[in-house]
Amino acid sequence: MIASEFSRLVDERQVTAKPLQLEATAEERATLAKRFGLVAIDRLEAAVAIERHGEALTAHGKLSAEIVQSCAVSGEDLPVTIDEPLALRFVPAAPEPADEEIELEESDLDEIPFEGHVFDLGEAVAQSLALAIDPYATGPEADRVRKEKGLNDEGASGPFAVLKGLKTGD
């Protein structure tokens, strides 16, 4: 198992009906911010209830975070609040077939395999945070910067602008 910046190992044999509360420390938030290319993660918390379904375990709850990311246009710091529902499914890892193509069903795509009796709920929460981040978030200065750089005019910067310059006689 690869070490995670926000590791919260859960032993499947110790799962109870009591929801788990996860909260990242300042050091964990700083290393996750670096991993995800963020300016900062000011808060990362999750409340998760885990239930057993045969050999699989499902985790449902809520992820809450306060992050600071760079505006995709101006580069300015952009504070963002993330509140996302969590729905995770942990399954025992199956042996990998030797160089054999396999067909995945839709229900197989959101499964997180684990080996032995332990799975990393913290890493699953961290990955859920990464998926919730808008990579193209823009701040209040984005329109001004677009205008200054000439990026607002679709005709001047669109896909046919280069072709227009190649036209003979121009």
Quick: pLDDT tens for 56-99: 999 999 999 999 999 888 889 999 999 999 999 999 887 766 66
- Look at residue 110 and tell me whether its pLDDT is greater than 80: no
Distance separating alpha carbons of residues 170 and 165, to the nearest angstrom: 7
Distance separating alpha carbons of residues 18 and 40, to the nearest angstrom: 31
Using one digit for the tens of pLDDT, what is the confidence trace for 34-61?
999 999 999 999 999 999 988 899 999 9
Mean of the pLDDT values across residues 154-166?
A: 60
User: Checking phi first, is residue 67 left (phi over 0); if not, alpha (psi -120 to 50) or beta?
Assistant: beta
Per-residue pLDDT at 40: 97
Dihedral sign (CA 9, 13, 17, 18): negative
Question: Which position has the higher pLDDT, 107 or 26?
Answer: 26
Average pLDDT in the chain: 86
Per-residue pLDDT at 167: 64
Per-residue pLDDT at 159: 62
Per-residue pLDDT at 48: 96
Q: Which stretches does DSSP call E strand in the chain? A: 9-11, 20-23, 40-53, 56-70, 77-92, 111-114, 118-120
Burial of 155 (0-12, 13-18, 19+ CB in 10 A): exposed
DSSP codes joined into one string, 104-147 = PPGGGTTEEEE-TTEEEHHHHHHHHHHHHS-TT---TTHHHHHH
Other C-beta atoms closer than 10 Å to the C-beta of 11 total 10
What is each CA distance from 134 to 1, 45, 146, in whole angstroms? 28, 18, 19
Per-residue pLDDT at 88: 93
Distance separating alpha carbons of residues 49 and 119, to the nearest angstrom: 14
- Look at residue 154 and tell me whether its pLDDT is greater than 60: no
